Structure 1
Amino acid sequence: MPTISVNEGQTNFYYEDSGPPLDQPGNTYTTLILLHGTYWTSGIFRPLIPYARERNLRLVLLNQRNYPGSSPYNEEDLRIMQSQDEQIQRPMVREHGRIQGQVIAQLIQTLNIPPLRSNSDGSLTGGLSFVAWSAGNIILFQFMSSLDTLDGPNRSLIESRLRSIVLYEPAMYISGTNPYFVSREAENRSSGLWSPIRDKNVVSQVNELFESWISTYFAVVSQLPSFDPADHEATHDLMHERKALDKAPTSTRLEKDIGYDKFWFVASNLRQIKPELLRENVLRSLTRLEASDGGNWSLHPGFKAVLVWCDQSATDCILGASAISQYHSEWQRQGYQMRSLEVVKITDANHFRKPQSPIVNSLGYSHPLFTGTFR
């Protein structure tokens, strides 16, 4: 069982490696580090491996803490997560981000990931992209917002390799946002804004309901709805009216050999991090942290963030993308030195995949790693 050991040997992370494309020179392929979300492990990405080689990709499937093969959070971490004090939580959140940075740096060394190179035509070769799916984006934002805490050698490794981050369908709460019109629909099962996570009447069924709800196909949303307070009622009406489509939820078609298990308790702990800290992590991740903090380091000039959303996903995923996109625009207007953010919509797809995709039981050909969106 391959693991990365960091934090002076105190913390381990399980990973799987597809290996470099065998017919490619060592510096021409791109490595993708794929981080899963709530409930499912990194095994959810396993069916993508056979399709990576022909696209000059190397896939590294990484398990979060508390998932099989990776170290659990210790009792002190769990106590702090349950605290209602932002000042108590902040040092822990920053430390978790530093540890995630150590993981990426250690993977670079262990797997001998090629450095990022600029070609004469402006294209890039080598390097890595960090892709986080769903609730996994909370870890990605911790990592990006804590780059300044890394020591020089680890920071240099990441500077020389990191070409992009992909925010794949981030959950709404990760942005530190919970608009009032969502909360008022908490127990309305007929509303497109309903979620089993918020409905206190279904606590005993939340695992089963979540699995079906998050993989359901809902009525198409043509563009990200506005989060401007003046548009809240219009956004409420649009999302409230969304109904489930006559397609079986993806979870009913997932084969059991993809290696996923269900770990609901992990998500419930991470959801207790204060919204103010989550929003702060988004800000620090999407601004040029090295410039705003006066650092003497920088990521590659071509570095960018890619925000991916699917037009038939559960409302929480669409609103999560809306919040991050709108925050980025607002912070840019306020004068922050923002990183490039590309927003990509995948049509006729839910949180998992397109129906009848040629890549069965996975994120499918619609996944940006196969469309070249962030290459």
Structure 2
Amino acid sequence: MPEAPVDENGTVLYFEDSGAPSGSSTYLTVVLLHGLLFHGAIFQNLVPHAASNNLRLVRVNMRDYPGSSGFSQEELDALTSGNLEKQAEAMKVQGQQIAAFLRHFAVTYDIPPTAQVDGKAVGGMALLTWSMSNNLAISLLAHAGSLAPETHDALAKYLRTVILFDPVAGSTCGVGLPQGAYHPFRDTSLSMEERVALAEVWLSYYFTPVHDLADATPERLNARTPLHEGGPAGQADPAKTPTLLRMTSEQREAVKDSGALLRSSLTILRVTPAVFRANFERALFDTRGVLPGLRVIYAWCDETMSDALYAGRFTTDRLREAQSEGTQIREIEFHKLEGCNHFPHWDHPEKVINLISSRA
């Protein structure tokens, strides 16, 4: 079982590797991190497109998901403590473990380093974090200046792009949703078991499209409806059936881990928002010159849940403000995946591959 050590305490992360494209010395290695509930298998539809696009895809299972180390009680207690310093340190450690994974994989598998050929970047590594795992990319960037020298140097040599893939507002930006915006995890009329059961499908709904992040106002977001239930025109669109409802029961079971969600992912979601916000600011808008060559791509989906669209709107607004504040900020390139819900890697893998190939 392939696994990578990520600290000196025996912590490991499980991964699956599509392998290097045959005969290529310029391929891009893309490390994929999943969100809550669904693990690395949710990216499986991307794999058949990898080699033909000169990509090596590495699907990593986050802590507590199949094959990867769980959290100790001490680690969980720190996350639930309500103590900002303990929570901040716990999230910092998780980001550093991702950095350690990147270094381990790059060095162990001798991937080609980032280089320039005819003015174009080749080789190297991209980190794509989806949904809740964007907090790990943000944590990594926020604390990259305190990484061990050998890890920092490896990231400078190999990591050329971070793709923030349909981030969510709370655990990425540290901000709450506008009043009235619905999410099953916040539905107090449901038991926890009912919330999880509903969220599993609801997260994959297609909603009324928002064509520009500037239009992701509270009023617009709260007025959106599921397209498979009728949408704004009042007619159900079978092409917009939620992703999870088009999977077989066997497929659904093979890509999720409800136990990990209940054991640890929800615990991370409940970390004090100020911790996430501080990392968000430092990672993107007060970088202090750390990893200056790193590019950030913010990929958003126009038919995703409102939580993700609000995160995009908040990030664009914050970037505009930061550009006049005099701090060192990261250049962020926004890219819309049109006609996509929160699961484009399952429903529209070719669009995600094109994003990676053309932008990363």
Deviations 1:166-198 (A, max 9, x none): 00000111210014x33xx2xxxxxxx211111
- C-alpha distance in 2 between matches for 1:321 and 1:368: 21
Q: CA deviation at 1:144?
A: 1.4
Query: Paired residue for 2:65?
Result: 67
Deviation of 1:336 (Å) = 1.4
CA distance in 1, matches of 2:114, 2:356: 20
Answer whether contact 1:368 1:374 (CA < 8 A) is retained.
Answer: no
- SS of residue in 2 equivalent to 1:40: coil
Residues in 2 aligned to 1:366 and 1:325: alpha-carbon distance in whole angstroms: 22
Once the two structures are TM-superposed, the CA of residue 370 in structure 1 deviates from its matched residue by: 4.8
Which residue of the other structure, out of 142, 155, 160, is the alignment partner of 2:157? 160
Aligned counterpart, 1:241: 223
How do 1:306-317 residues align onto structure 2 when only pairs under 5 Å count? 306-317=297-308
Shift of 1:111: 1.7
Conserved? CA contact 2:3–2:14, under 8 Å = yes
The aligned runs of 1:117-196 (5 Å cut-off) are 117-119=115-117, 121-174=118-171, 175-179=173-177, 181-182=178-179, 185=180, 193-196=181-184
Are 1:365 and 2:356 an aligned pair?
no
**Against the structure 1 CA distance between its residues 55 and 142, is the aligned structure 2 distance closer, same or farther, given a 3 Å change threshold?**
same
Distance 1:35 1:347 in 2: 22
- Residues 114-150 of structure 1 show CA distances to partners (whole Å, capped at 9, x for unaligned) of 110022x321110000000111101111111121121
- Detail structure 1 runs of 4+ shifted over 4 Å in the superposition: 368-371
Q: Name which of 247, 271, 276 aligns with 1:273.
A: 271
RMSD: 1.9
Rounded Cα–Cα distance in structure 2 between residues aligned with 1:88 and 1:153? 26
2:281 equivalent in structure 1:
283
Is 1:341 paired with 2:332? yes
**Counterpart residue number, 1:351:** 342
Aligned to 2:235: none
Distance in 2 (alpha carbons) for counterparts of 1:238 and 1:11: 44
C-alpha deviation, 1:335, in angstroms? 1.5
SS in 2 for 1:201: coil
Q: Size of the alignment, in residue pairs?
A: 342
Unaligned runs of 5+ in 1: 186-192, 228-234, 292-296, 354-358
Aligned equivalents of 2:32, 2:144: Cα separation in 1:
19
Partner of 1:200: 188
Q: Which residue of 2 aligns with 1:216?
A: 205
Shift of 1:318: 0.7
More helix by share: 2
Query: Within the alignment, does 1:262 sit opposite 2:251 as a pair?
Result: no
